[in-house]
Structure 1
Amino acid sequence: MTAERTRALQERFGNALMPTYGVPPVAIARGEGARVWDVDGRPYLDLIGGIAVSALGHGHPALVKAVADQTAALAHTSNLFLHEREVELAERLIALLGDPGARVFLANSGTEANEAALKLARKAAGPARPVLVATENGFHGRSLGALAVTGKESMRAPFGPYGTEVRFVPHGDAGALRAAVDDTVAAVIVEPVQGEAGVVPAPDGYLAAVREICDAAGAAFVLDEIQSGIGRTGHWFAHQAQGVRPDVLTLAKGLGGGLPIGACVGFGRYATAFAKGDHGSTFGGNPVAAAAALAVLDTVENEDLLGSAARTGAALAEGMRATGHPLVAGVRGTGLWLALVLTAERAAEVQARAADHGFLINAVAPDALRLAPPLTLTPEQAASFTGALPAILDEVNP
Structure 2
Amino acid sequence: MTSALLPTYARAPLSFERGEGAWLVASDGERYLDFGAGIAVNALGHAHPHLVAALTEQAGKLWHTSNLFEIPEGERLGRRLVDATFADVAFFANSGAEANEAAIKMARKYHAAGGHPERYRIVTFEGAFHGRTLATIAAGGQAKYIEGFGPKVEGFDQVPPCDVAALEAAIGPETAALMIEPIQGEGGLRVIPHEELRRLRALCDERGLLLIMDEVQTGVGRTGKLFAHEWSGIAPDIMSAAKGIGGGFPLGVCLATREAARGMTAGTHGTTFGGNPLAMAVGNAVLDVVLADGFLEHVRRTGLLLKQKLAALRDRFPDVIEAVRGEGLMLGLKCAVSNTAFVAAARAARLLVIPAGDNVVRLLPPLIITEADVSEAVERLETTAAGLSPAALRRAAE
* Alignment-derived partner of residue 29 in structure 1: 17
Match in the other structure for 1:390: 382
1:43 maps to: 31
Per the alignment, in what secondary structure is the counterpart of residue 332 of structure 2? strand
Query: Could you tell me how far 1:366 is from its partner in structure 2?
Result: 5.7
**Partner amino acid, structure 2, of 1:322:** A
Distance 1:175 1:236 in 2: 32
Secondary structure class of the residue paired with 1:79:
coil
When residues 273 and 225 of structure 1 are mapped into structure 2, their CA distance, relative to the original with a 3 A threshold, is same
Q: How does 1:1-398 map to 2 (within 5 A)?
A: 15-99=3-87, 102-126=88-112, 127-302=117-292, 304-323=294-313, 324-326=316-318, 327-344=320-337, 346-365=338-357, 367-397=359-389, 398=392
CA gap of 1:46–1:15, structure 2 versus 1, over 3 A, is same
Please give the per-residue CA displacement for 1:182-217, whole angstroms capped at 9, x wherever unaligned. Answer: 221012111001110111111331111111121222
Q: Which residue of 1 aligns with 2:395?
A: none
User: Which consecutive aligned stretches of 4+ in structure 1 deviate over 6 angstroms post-superposition?
Assistant: none
RMSD over aligned Cα atoms: 1.4
**How far, CA to CA, are the matches of 2:121 and 2:290 in structure 1?**
38
TM-score by length of 2: 0.93
CA drift at 1:98? 4.7
* 1-structure distance, mates of 2:51, 2:165: 45
AA partner of residue 60 (structure 1): H
Q: Deviations over 1:267-301 (max 9, x none)?
A: 14113320110000011101111110110110112
Q: Given that residues 107 and 283 in structure 1 are in contact (C-alpha distance below 8 angstroms), is that contact kept between their aligned partners in structure 2? A: yes
**Deviating more after overlay: 115-124 vs 167-176:** 167-176
Q: Secondary structure at the match of 1:45?
A: strand
Q: 1:310 & 1:175 partners in 2: Cα distance?
A: 35
Please give the secondary structure, in 2, of the residue aligned with 1:208: helix
Identity %: 40
Q: Distance in 1 between matches of 2:34 and 2:11?
A: 19
Instruction: Give 1:335 shift.
Output: 0.5
Q: What letter corresponds to residue 385 of structure 1 in structure 2?
A: A
SS at match of 2:377: helix
TM-score scaled to structure 1, two decimals? 0.93
Which ranges in structure 2 are unaligned for 5 or more consecutive residues?
393-398
Shift, 1:303, TM fit: 6.2
SS of alignment partner, residue 369 of structure 2: coil
Contact 1:182 1:217 in 2 (8 A): no
Q: Which stretches in structure 1 are left out of the alignment for 5+ residues? A: 1-10
- Count the aligned residue pairs: 383
Q: Is the 8 A contact 1:90 1:103 kept in 2?
A: yes
Corresponding residue for residue 4 of structure 1? none
What do residues 130-174 of structure 1 show as CA deviations (whole Å, max 9, x unaligned)?
312111110000101111101211111222313413211002323
Q: Equivalents in 1 of 2:13, 2:357: separation in Å?
A: 17
Partner of 1:5: none
